[in-house]
Structure 1
Amino acid sequence: MQWRRAVGRWRDAAWVLAPLGLTLLVGTIVYTLSNYKMATVMGDSMRPTYRQGDRLFIDRIDASEIRRGDVLLIEAPEHTQLGPLLRRVIGMGGDHVAGEGNRVSVNGKLVNEPYVTDRAENLTVGPYDMTVPDGRLFLLGDHRDNSNDSRFHLSEQSGSVAASGVQGRVLEDSTVPTVLATLGGLGIVLTLAGLGGYAVGRRARQPLPPAAPWPVA
């Protein structure tokens, strides 16, 4: 009797658990696909911050949300036709950017870049001094000795790329991915628990087969 009562409670709870779990799971998936995307690092231009093969969580943003120092996934046909690039924002529209070798200053102030581990002296890069056009971005890779970035395209739009090409910003904090994964996992557990309650309750409602008659001599 107690077993039947427990099954009945589970069956009743299933009517809440399964819809709640499905709603949570589907809602998490839709929210994640609408606001974020995954990307795989394909080269060494952002080393050591991001290495080839790293999987990154990208926050979908538009041009109005870009900040100096952001690492962006951006379409930059001015630099390459091979697909989106992963680059760091150094200057934005109206900024005065100057540099020589691997050192760079913005609006007269030397940029503190602890993420750059290459030597400051890079003989392959000559001095540059320019103002970023409105609506465009001056981008550099963190691996300055091995990065096809704005320094090598100064003859066209001062090496800048259109801010409208941004696909998203790399999330450096793992809080959001962790929360979304937890919510998705909870949705799966609740859905499975609800479906299990349906199945057990349905089986418990089925009548037992009649007992076989005793053999008669």
Structure 2
Amino acid sequence: MSERYDRLRRIRREKRRQRRQQRSLKKTMKSALGWFISILTAAILGYGFVAFGFQTVYMVGPSMEPTLTDGESYLVNKAVYLVTSPERYDVVAYRIVENQDEYYSIKRVVGLPGETVLIQNGQVYINGNPLADYPVDCEIKTAGIAESAITLGENEYFLLGDNPDNSQDSRFQAAGNVQKSEMLGRVKIK
């Protein structure tokens, strides 16, 4: 009888050991699945943050001095223009649709959709009125194509550099009026 009792005890012990191993394996699998879900969630949130939230761009050239410095990096809020439209004097990063391989340019919004922009005697005129509250004190020596009045279409913006004598902006055919769809977002000025 004792032999049978010993055998039953061994079988029960073996079953308990197997149940412990199964519980341990389940615990390990749950933990691994939890880690996998956490990492996947972080990756998705990170991608969403970069794709739809914020991005870093570099200022190239002196066109926005003294506001922005050549070679410095700036944070761009990409989400802001998904829910609102650019406002006058916003500093924006943009890239012309035809030049998708080029870097982003950074300029200041001066003219809004539906407005007429004209540059005469170093002064910007919006709908015939001088732009008196421009954030940077500068005289524009080259009017470019804005020497004649330019009426902006729907979703078109007229952009200028804060250092207009060293800026390729909406005054020149290469940049021209910028579409809202070409804007990456609003640049956060430090």
- Residue 3 of structure 1 aligns with which residue? none
Confirm or deny: 8 A CA contact 1:48 1:142 kept in the other structure.
yes
Corresponding position: 1:99 with 2:119: yes
Alignment partner of 1:115 is 2:125: no
Give distance in 1, aligned partners of 2:162 and 2:118: 17
Bigger radius of gyration among the two = 2
Instruction: Tell whether the 8 Å contact from 1:79 to 1:149 is kept in structure 2 after alignment.
Output: no
User: Paired residue for 2:163, among 135, 143, 152?
Assistant: 143
Q: Aligned Cα RMSD in Å?
A: 3.3
Distance in 1 between the 2:122 and 2:129 partners? 15
Partner of 1:38: 56
* TM superposition score normalised by structure 2: 0.64
- AA aligned to 2:148 is Y
Aligned residues: 147
Structure 1 equivalent of residue 76 of structure 2: 58
CA contact (8 A) 2:57 2:104 kept: no
Aligned pairs for 1:64-213 (under 5 A) are: 64-77=84-97, 82-100=102-120, 102-111=122-131, 112-116=133-137, 118=138, 120=139, 122=141, 124-125=142-143, 127-153=147-173, 159-172=176-189
- TM-score with structure 1 setting the length: 0.57
Q: Kindly tell me: are residues 43 and 134 of structure 1, through their superposed partners in 2, closer, same or farther at Cα, counting changes over 3 Å?
A: same
Larger RCO (CA within 8 A; separation ≥ 6): 1
CA-CA distance at 1:149 after TM superposition: 1.0
Q: Determine what percentage of the aligned residue pairs are the same residue.
A: 28
Any stretches of 5+ residues in structure 1 without a counterpart?
A: 1-18, 175-217
- Contact 2:63–2:164 (8 Å) recurs in 1: yes
- Structure 2 runs not aligned, ≥5 long: 1-34
AA at the equivalent of 1:38: T
